[in-house]
Amino acid sequence: MKSRLATILCTAAAIMATTAVAHAQTVLKWAHVYETSEPFHMDSVWAAEEIAKRTEGRYKIEVYPASQLGKEADINQGLKLGTVDIIISGSSFAARDYKPIGVTYFPYIFRGPDHLIAYTKSDVFKRLAKGYEDKTGNHIAAVSYYGTRHTTSNKPIAKCADLQGLKIRVPDVPAYLAMPRACGANTTPIAFAEVYLALQNGTVEAQENPLTTIEAKKFYEVQKNIILTGHIVDHLNTVVSKTRWASLSDEDKKIFGEVMQEAAERTSKAIAGKEASLVATFKEKGLNVAEVDKSDFEKNVMEKVKFEDFGYEKADWEAIRAIQ
């Protein structure tokens, strides 16, 4: 009888302990706008699982890809509303709250992905990220390489002047518009989902995006020229909301930060590796992939675009350019 009672008590204790753990688990929402096949999603899922492991199951992170919780503007707003805890988003959105951080989108500020990653370890990054955090309370936990933006066109382009009058689709983001407008292009902010059709029917004659996007969206099917203008080395931030970051213990902040940085490194390597092989892939498809003198494009940008028009600090631009 005593043995049976002991067994019952042990079982009850185990159930209570399991229930206590379940109640102690905090469920978080991680949102982004990228497809499930892209490294941004796959590495977010990896990070969610890794955080669960390293916190012994105290956190369960549910990842919502492909705009399931809204477009990029929506999920940024979600940080403020408390509807999401973690997002992946570009600095162009962070700059809506803290303009100086948008300098990282200025054309030709970064020499390439290695320079971008070096920036994320620099004092100027820490200062800009702190400025954003001081303004919003949201914490930039990691930065990943998104890709280098190049131009595709119906006609060959060899120099900045060749863009004069060209109808080109560009996202409605000031820094993205800077290079095409400095070269005299006629910029058109068509919705991303409509770009393929717009190129196909001639609504626009050109567009700009990283090589990985040009492949994924099959823009190469309706454009015969890929011009390696490399005008923006693009990146994404992994951002934790103000309320969620404030709720974490110092130990958990360390775990979240380390895991998110590891995930960003995985993503960056995957994107850079993919880009390296795509030039050959596009050439094999019969496209004209052209190198250009980037200094010609940069010269026009620097002569015709003013930092003060964007709310950026030239000192920040100079500090980033100087990073080795």
Please tell me the pTM assigned to this model.
Answer: 0.86
Backbone phi and psi for residue 235, each to the nearest 5 degrees, phi listed first: -150, 165
Mean pLDDT of all residues in 109-131: 96
Query: What integer pLDDT is reported at residue 204 of this predicted model?
Result: 98
HEC profile for 97-166? HCHHHHHHHCCCCCCCHHHHHHHCCCHHHHHHHHHHHHHHCCEEEEEEEEEEEEEEECCCCCCHHHHCCC
CA distance 256 to 246: 13
pLDDT band at 7 (very low <50, low <70, confident <90, very high): low
User: Per-residue pLDDT tens for 66-95?
Assistant: 899 999 999 999 999 999 999 999 998 999
Who wins on pLDDT, 190 or 22? 190
When pLDDT is averaged across residues 128-135 and rounded to a whole number, the result is: 98
pLDDT band at 216 (very low <50, low <70, confident <90, very high): confident
More confident residue, 3 or 291: 291
Who wins on pLDDT, 223 or 190? Answer: 223
Note the pLDDT of residue 11: 52
